[in-house]
Amino acid sequence: GAVVSQHPSWVICKSGTSVKIECRSLDFQATTMFWYRQFPKQSLMLMATSNEGSKATYEQGVEKDKFLINHASLTLSTLTVTSAHPEDSSFYICSASPGQFNEKLFFGSGTQLSVL
Amino acid sequence: RKEVEQDPGPFNVPEGATVAFNCTYSNSASQSFFWYRQDCRKEPKLLMSVYSSGNEDGRFTAQLNRASQYISLLIRDSKLSDSATYLCVVTASWGKLQFGAGTQVVVTP
């Protein structure tokens, strides 16, 4: 099946630093990738839709200047958490679909971010 | 009201028993339905799609009830390895996915 690679798996950083997370589709091209955040015992919350070659579409309440998304190629999207604070600590996960619609998503393995 | 709601559980199930749980959705325009499985701090993995006529995949059976706007998942002959959180995923007509918070299943020896 389709494979989506995400790294790093774990990040521990000091408050105020920026953290970059990469999401790669290894065996298919993805014009669209999705970034989610998941707090313990809660559902995945869509943060933004990453579009290759254009600006990302952010969900309501998600600060675009805080969470910078770059989708420079058909196989790579990056999420940068700028000036991270403890409240940004969460499980971040990306997904992509090889199909025309975003059904049957394949997920990256997720990144656990802990901001001290 | 949440767009996709699930009983968080946990459902404690003896090994070999059957467990079933539902997921309700609020958007009547939803087009596609899925069950994903998520292990602790891991990525969700597609378990099965849910078709209008209901479908079965081994020990797993999924049903869709459009009139009452819910889908269900039944697990027969539960295995210890079935312990996980099961996420209900619903797509709206515009393709946006909505995730439920998940139902935790714990299969005990």
Q: What pLDDT is recorded for position B28?
A: 87
Is there a contact between A107 and B4 if contact means CB atoms under 8 Å apart? no
Q: What integer pLDDT is reported at residue B77 of this predicted model? A: 98
- Partner residue facing A103 (CB), from B4, B32, B42: B32
List of chain B residues with pLDDT < 70: 1, 92-95
CB A103 to CB B43 under 8 A? no
A36 and A94 Cβ atoms separated by less than 8 Å: yes
8 A C-beta contact, residue A21 and residue A76 = no
State residue B98 phi and psi, 5-degree precision.
-120, 130
> What mean pLDDT, rounded, does chain B reach?
91
Cα radius of gyration rounded to whole Å, chain A: 13
Q: Is the pLDDT of residue A112 over 80?
A: yes
B26 touches chain A (CB under 8 A): no
Contacts of A108 in chain B (CB under 8 A): 43
Position B73 scores a pLDDT of: 98
Beta carbons of B88 and B4 less than 8 angstroms apart: yes
